[in-house]
Structure 1
Amino acid sequence: MLSPDAPLPTPGKPGNLRLWLAYAGVWTLAWLLFMLAGIQADLQRGSWRPLSAVYQASWTLWPAALWGLAVYPWMRGMQRLALAAPWQLLLHAVAALLFSFLWQASSFAAAWALFEFEHALATLHQTVLWQALWGCFVYGSLAAGFSAVLNARRARASALAAAQAEAALVRAELAAVTGKLNPHFLFNTLNSLIALTRKDAQAAEQALLRFSGMLRYVLDNKRGGSDRVALREEIEFVRDYLALESLRLGKRLQVVWELDPQTLDDEIPPLSLQPLVENSIQHGIAPRTQGGQVHISAQRDAMTQALALCVRDDGAGCEPARLEASQSRSGIGLSALRRRFALDYGGRARLKTHTAPGAGFRTDLWIPQ
């Protein structure tokens, strides 16, 4: 919630321009109604004096329209004070009487300046009661209208502040979730390199050189959780990752690519595709002595024009409940990825994992463009 001292739009801003245009429109409508009432009264008396009705409407309403401008800053001051209800009612009563006095005093002064003192005094005696009543009514209407405008602005400002705070919280959580992906990837890749050094030192040296390029990609994209990279960059990163895994798994790992060229420039969060590929290798290929095949595709969704990524393998698969339990223990990559998409795209991105005994693993990812 905003405090009573929270700043409101200042004159000259679009919001205030609309306010004063509406103010002018209300008084124009009141002037027209007053003029039509005067013409109707003349017609009932058997005369036709439209200019007299125009004069009478203008002469009567101009002080109220002029002093009504002061009601807006007065209402702003009242809201800043945030007084108790009895004090507010008292101040509004005093302000209504003051508004009526200023209305009549302005009319009296103008009549005195343009005509004679006796004429101005006679007119005041004739109109003092009804103008006092009308002054209180007009003040109340203006105070209620300006109060509604100010309350609406405060409500919008409060909602905007709440939305900004929520967005800042989401950005912080998004950065924290994204930060989980990088250590997870680095830890698993280093384990693969350590295992490779025990089998083939020369291959391990080549793998380290390739790993340095991958590390550069990871560090370059650690600026923020909401960064984007082209799909082609992520694919090159995944190719390097698969090359390292091929050094470890050899012919047991086979990869099939099916990429729509029109999707290569689509933007995705970095480290979006690699955890999916890693999931298939860890759960579908590595546990099998004969290995298997990983199929990676990128297509354009015909209905939503979103980027549709799919990673599947022909491994043994498992029961869905077993997969969920396994991911809850060690699936940091997928769980963090799912959370990142939920935060980053506000529920518009989708990630689904399917598996069944003998059917391998399949992960589908839809990213709006």
Structure 2
Amino acid sequence: MVQPAWEETRLDVRPPATRLIDAQRRFDVCHVGLVLRAVLGVQLVLALGLAMSSETLSLWAWSMSGASVAALSGVLAWLLVVCAAKRVLARLPESAQWTLPILLGAACAYGGARLLEAVELGGLGELQRIAAAAAGALAAGVLLGWLKLRERAQAPADALARLVELQSRIRPHFLFNTLNTAIALVRVDPSRAESVLEDLAELFHVALADAGPTAEGVRLSQEVELARRYLAIEQLRFGERLRVNWHLDPHADDVRVPPLLLQPLVENAVRHGVEPNDLGGDVDIVTRARGSEVEIRVVNTVGLPSRAQGHGLALRNVRQRLRLMHDVAARLEAGPGDGRFVVRIVLPR
């Protein structure tokens, strides 16, 4: 039977740069969350295996104390090497991307077994060393398989996040209001009208740009500048009703964040905290570097309820993209307090 054209083997038509970034994601094992999962997973399997071969709890505890030395040293060594070599591994053929990390897993496990002997926590026979190497290779293969599945899952998740972001971020009524503002200014203040259109063009340039590779994110200072442009346009609409306060820490400027992180949050603040209230409201944008973390806060006053009730799309979108980029190392908290609505984001530096 002739195979229909639409059933033919699909070719990967993504640009080479995009394929390279996606491959690097596969070997991105540098996140704290992934390290914790790998270590806890190996420890759990090790604990269950030794429990089946130990007659008493004290014997099991003694065996775990020694085996954990070998297991943890092997796992951490494998993660460290793969993290350091992710750019090199991403450029290799698919077969090598599997073979080398699996062989590395066997070598790390074998090295962990030898370390166990070196610190005199147990003497191992050659068969036990081979078994340790085989277990390391198996563990590396399982982890690689999970990383590959995660990489495949991230592509549609990124696309969905981008779509929801565009829908919730730049709405038709905002474009309509901004163009009306520019038209009204053309005759009385042409230079100001030109500035409004420049800000709007920059916003849409970023919003409608090709999603492309964003694994590394953008600098927080770029996000702040984009939020400034957005609020400058809204300032023309609301005048003195919109009161913006900036509290920016220059030490936080270089932290990497997902593109268009701030703009949906400040839009929400204006829409729900300023627009429905005759007296307007305050919007505070705060960035602060604290040790190994950076805190971002977007705070707006709360008055009358917004006429257009939100659905939480912007917050869900931001939370999803933070999780994709930083895993459990990033946190987003949102809720009311003392007459204000606070969105707080904590990121690793």
The bucket for the TM-score relative to the shorter chain is: 0.5 to 0.7
The SS at the match of 1:177 is helix
- Where do residues 38-117 of structure 1 align in structure 2 (5 Å cutoff)? none
Whether 1:353 and 2:334 are equivalent positions in the alignment is yes
Q: Which residue of 2 aligns with 1:94?
A: none
Aligned residues: 238
CA distance in 2 between partners of 1:17 and 1:287 (Å): 61
The SS at the match of 1:347 is helix
CA offsets 1:276-303 (integer angstroms, 9 cap, x no match): 21111000001111212211111113xx
Checking the alignment, whether the CA contact within 8 Å between 1:298 and 1:310 is kept in structure 2 is yes
Q: 1:289 to 1:196 in 2, by over 3 A?
A: same
CA distance in 1 between partners of 2:344 and 2:161 (Å): 20
Checking the alignment, whether the CA contact within 8 Å between 1:230 and 1:266 is kept in structure 2 is yes
Q: Which residue of 2 aligns with 1:260?
A: 249
The SS at the match of 2:171 is helix
Q: Which residue of 2 aligns with 1:193?
A: 178
TM (normalized to structure 2)? 0.57
- Give the C-alpha shift of residue 359 in structure 1: 0.4
Q: Which residue of 1 aligns with 2:10?
A: none
- Where do residues 1-369 of structure 1 align in structure 2 (5 Å cutoff)? 15=106, 146=130, 149-150=133-134, 152-187=136-171, 189-196=174-181, 199-201=184-186, 206-219=195-208, 222-301=211-290, 304-316=291-303, 326-328=309-311, 331-355=312-336, 359-369=339-349
* More RCO (CA 8 Å, sep 6+): 2
CA distance in 1 between partners of 2:105 and 2:329 (Å): 33
Checking the alignment, whether the CA contact within 8 Å between 1:174 and 1:226 is kept in structure 2 is no
CA distance in 1 between partners of 2:304 and 2:333 (Å): 15
CA distance in 2 between partners of 1:287 and 1:17 (Å): 61
CA distance in 1 between partners of 2:110 and 2:299 (Å): 59
Q: 1:241 to 1:258 in 2, by over 3 A?
A: same
CA distance in 1 between partners of 2:126 and 2:244 (Å): 74
CA distance in 2 between partners of 1:233 and 1:258 (Å): 15
- Give the C-alpha shift of residue 145 in structure 1: 6.2
CA distance in 1 between partners of 2:193 and 2:267 (Å): 19
Checking the alignment, whether the CA contact within 8 Å between 1:317 and 1:355 is kept in structure 2 is no
The SS at the match of 2:245 is strand
The SS at the match of 1:300 is strand
Checking the alignment, whether the CA contact within 8 Å between 1:259 and 1:297 is kept in structure 2 is yes
Q: Which residue of 1 aligns with 2:50?
A: none
Checking the alignment, whether the CA contact within 8 Å between 2:284 and 2:299 is kept in structure 1 is yes
Larger Rg computed on CA atoms:
1
Q: 1:160 to 1:197 in 2, by over 3 A?
A: same
Q: 1:192 to 1:153 in 2, by over 3 A?
A: same
Checking the alignment, whether the CA contact within 8 Å between 1:285 and 1:293 is kept in structure 2 is yes
The SS at the match of 2:277 is coil
CA offsets 1:197-226 (integer angstroms, 9 cap, x no match): 675455655422221122333455732343
Aligned residue type for 1:181: E
The SS at the match of 1:345 is helix
CA distance in 1 between partners of 2:321 and 2:104 (Å): 38
The SS at the match of 2:246 is strand
CA distance in 1 between partners of 2:128 and 2:314 (Å): 57
Which ranges in structure 2 are unaligned for 5 or more consecutive residues?
A: 1-97, 118-124
CA offsets 1:283-324 (integer angstroms, 9 cap, x no match): 0001111212211111113xx531111111223176xxx99x
Which ranges in structure 1 are unaligned for 5 or more consecutive residues?
A: 1-6, 27-140
Q: 1:13 to 1:333 in 2, by over 3 A?
A: closer
CA distance in 2 between partners of 1:8 and 1:198 (Å): 63
Checking the alignment, whether the CA contact within 8 Å between 1:230 and 1:268 is kept in structure 2 is yes
- The structure richer in helix per residue is 1
The SS at the match of 1:209 is helix
- Give the C-alpha shift of residue 265 in structure 1: 2.2
Q: State which drifts further: 153-162 or 335-344.
A: 153-162
Q: 1:162 to 1:306 in 2, by over 3 A?
A: same
Identity of aligned residues (%): 25
CA offsets 1:43-65 (integer angstroms, 9 cap, x no match): xxxxxxxxxxxxxxxxxxxxxxx
CA distance in 1 between partners of 2:107 and 2:298 (Å): 55
Aligned residue type for 1:292: G
Q: 1:208 to 1:157 in 2, by over 3 A?
A: same
- Give the C-alpha shift of residue 152 in structure 1: 4.2
